[in-house]
Amino acid sequence: MPKAGQARVPSTGEWQRVFEVIQDHRHPEKNTAIMQISAKLGLRAQEIALLQIKEVARLKKSPPGFTLYKVMSLPAAYTKGANAMG
């Protein structure tokens, strides 16, 4: 049976620690992008797993990197309860 209520939101300090730890492990760029999507857009793991890069970020070639879109729209099929998010 699923839990009721909202999940706890990490504090700013907790997010900072997550990003510090990511830098010491494999694939720091990829993992930073995933965690930024969670932190800044509030998406759940299952929603993030369905995303394509073109839906959430503009890629930069020089220097290599990305910029998350400020506004995005997800297909309803991606979201919990199939509710559209913006």
Judged by DSSP in three states, 58 sits in strand
DSSP H or E run through 56: helix 53-56
pLDDT at 49: 87
The amino acid sitting at 21 is V
What's the predicted TM-score (pTM) here? 0.62
Q: Is residue 41, in this structure, part of any structural domain at all?
A: yes
- Of the candidates 21, 66, 19, 58, the one whose C-alpha atom is nearest the C-alpha of residue 38 is 19
Q: How many structural domains does the chain have?
A: 1
Structural domain for 59, as ranges:
12-78
pLDDT block averages, 10 residues each, the chain of length 86:
76 94 94 89 85 81 83 76 52
Q: Is residue 2, in this structure, part of any structural domain at all?
A: no
Q: Is residue 85, in this structure, part of any structural domain at all?
A: no
Q: Is residue 84, in this structure, part of any structural domain at all?
A: no
Q: Is residue 45, in this structure, part of any structural domain at all?
A: yes
Q: Is residue 83, in this structure, part of any structural domain at all?
A: no
Q: Is residue 4, in this structure, part of any structural domain at all?
A: no
pLDDT at 2: 64
Count of helix runs (H) and strand runs (E) in the chain: 4, 2
Residue 37 and residue 43 in contact, taking contact as beta carbons nearer than 8 Å? yes
pLDDT at 69: 81
Q: Is residue 36, in this structure, part of any structural domain at all?
A: yes
